[in-house]
Amino acid sequence: MLIPETMSAIVLTGHGGPEKLVYRTDLPVPKPRPDEVLIEVSACGLNNTDIKVREAQYAVDFDPNSGLDEAGAAASIASTLGETSLRFPRIQGADIVGHIVAVGSDISADRIGQRVLIDFSIYHAKDSDGRPRMDLSNVDYIGHGADGGFAEYAVVPAINAHEIHRDIADTALATFGCATLTAEHMLSRVGAREGDKILITGAGGGVGSAAIQLARARGAIPYAVTSRGKEAAIMALGAEGCLCRQDFSDVENKFDKEAFLAAVAKVTGRTRSMDAVIDQVGGVMFHGLLQALRPDGHYISAGTIAGYTPRVNLHTVYMAFLNIHGSSQGQPEDFVRIVEYIEAGKIEPTLGGVYRLSQLHEAQKTFQAKDYVGNIVVVPDAKWPELGAPHVER
């Protein structure tokens, strides 16, 4: 095919609000390096990380006990020796689906034409056999340390481009990616296995909805914390039971722990019943989530939708022998399992809406409102007549 010299894309011009995301139609189409492939993007999913990076919300080193103001503590992610890999302007967008249209000099031309789902992680480290692995002290990703998929074309490492054969729409396929890899790695880190009871917060979002299905794929039993009105959709994904957030948390984010623990007991038969908690929420719910765990249970966080400085009674942690984990992104083998689940039909897409790329501001507004189940996807404007579904047209 004839590859154009320029393309349309959304560029992030700096930290701040949506106004920092600028639609351009004159950017050069990137060229693949020897170990890379060029993707013609057909769809790209949204995620919280892109928004948090734009808003500089990652206050990784802020000490809530310091007495200092949080203002100015936030930063970007992927810092190495105090330096960040984020450079402006940057094309964000991690959850890329598209077709390989060109390859670098080290990659077989046989890959041209493959439809691929991109593992968004940038793996700096190698294992003993020379294969990529995630270095927990140096995590980066496409859309942050390198340009991503909010564009008509993107270059990615060839090893990150996984061919997909299953008959599934590109927009639906783009709901897998960042959220699904995050969820699979969380389940892997807590050792989720057959019969385990897993409590999943934020179950209507990308990570939560993926975690429900991935838990079932392992034979575990997922229970979901979600908003009222989403129960039917959440149960259809495989949840054993739903805990409605409005039953124990109000619009001012006041949390009734006793009501929450009663809800846990109602769906499982007892209060301290969960083998693991998969948490994307944090904030005031944190201590209640710990009290929902059985002794020696596992809590794992990969998000802080409700705040990142919760208070905790450490007696609860050590007297119950609890295990507390942090998690971000995942290992290459986690993504391989996801591809296997997709191809086998063990997990299904949860598409919450589709927007044109030029309407990314509106798409992110919908994404943050959380009035849907699954994920929001953007499609390059030139692809809209082919891929934009009439029932979700924006």
Res. 393 pLDDT band, cuts 50 70 90: very low
Q: How far is CA 93 from CA 70, 107, 150, 244, 345, in A?
A: 28, 24, 5, 31, 25
**Do 190 and 168 share a domain, yes or no?**
no
**Do 205 and 270 share a domain, yes or no?**
yes
**Do 183 and 320 share a domain, yes or no?**
yes
Strands (E), 285-350: 293-301, 323-326
pLDDT of residue 389: 53
Q: What is the CATH number of the domain that holds 322?
A: 3.40.50.720
For residue 75, give the H/E element and its range: none
CA atoms within 13 A on the CB side of 387: 26
pLDDT of residue 284: 84
> Rounded CA gap, 81 and 75, in Å?
14
What sign does the dihedral 280-284-285-289 (CA atoms) show?
positive
**Count of C-beta atoms within a 10 Å radius of residue 77:** 20
> Quick one: what percent of the chain has pLDDT higher than 90?
67
**Do 355 and 381 share a domain, yes or no?**
yes
pTM, rounded to two decimals = 0.90
**Do 312 and 184 share a domain, yes or no?**
yes
pLDDT of residue 251: 55
**Do 132 and 11 share a domain, yes or no?**
yes
Q: Which of 278, 324, 335, 323 is nearest to 303 (CA)?
A: 278
With 0-12 / 13-18 / 19 or more C-beta atoms within 10 angstroms meaning exposed / middle / buried, residue 367 is buried
76 found inside a domain:
yes
**Do 83 and 184 share a domain, yes or no?**
no
Q: What is the pLDDT of residues 197-231, one digit of tens each?
A: 999 999 988 899 999 999 999 999 999 999 889 99
**Do 240 and 168 share a domain, yes or no?**
no
Res. 386 pLDDT band, cuts 50 70 90: confident
Residue 26 has pLDDT above 90, yes or no: yes
> Rounded CA gap, 348 and 98, in Å?
18
**Do 10 and 122 share a domain, yes or no?**
yes
**Do 82 and 194 share a domain, yes or no?**
no
Res. 67 pLDDT band, cuts 50 70 90: low
Res. 120 pLDDT band, cuts 50 70 90: very high
Range with the lowest mean pLDDT among 80-89, 110-119, 373-382? 80-89
Determine phi and psi for 45, rounding to 5 degrees: -80, 155
Considering 278, 293, 326, which residue would you say is the last residue of a domain?
Answer: 326
Tokens of 107: 């990659």
Res. 80 pLDDT band, cuts 50 70 90: very low
pLDDT of residue 199: 97
In degrees, rounded to 5, the angle at the alpha carbon of residue 43 between the alpha carbons of residues 359 and 327 is 100
212 found inside a domain:
yes
**Do 110 and 153 share a domain, yes or no?**
yes
331 found inside a domain:
no
pLDDT of residue 74: 53
339 found inside a domain:
no
Q: What is the CATH number of the domain that holds 384?
A: 3.90.180.10
289 found inside a domain:
yes
60 found inside a domain:
yes
Total domain count for the chain?
2
> Rounded CA gap, 364 and 53, in Å?
13
pLDDT of residue 283: 83
266 found inside a domain:
yes
| Residue whose token pair is 């004839």 | 2
338 found inside a domain:
no
How far is Cα of residue 112 from the mean position of the Cα atoms in its chain? 28
Average pLDDT over residues 38-59: 91
> Rounded CA gap, 342 and 214, in Å?
11
**Do 113 and 46 share a domain, yes or no?**
yes
> Rounded CA gap, 382 and 394, in Å?
15
Contact predicate 211/319, CB 8 Å: no
Expressed as residue numbers, the domain containing 280 is 179-326
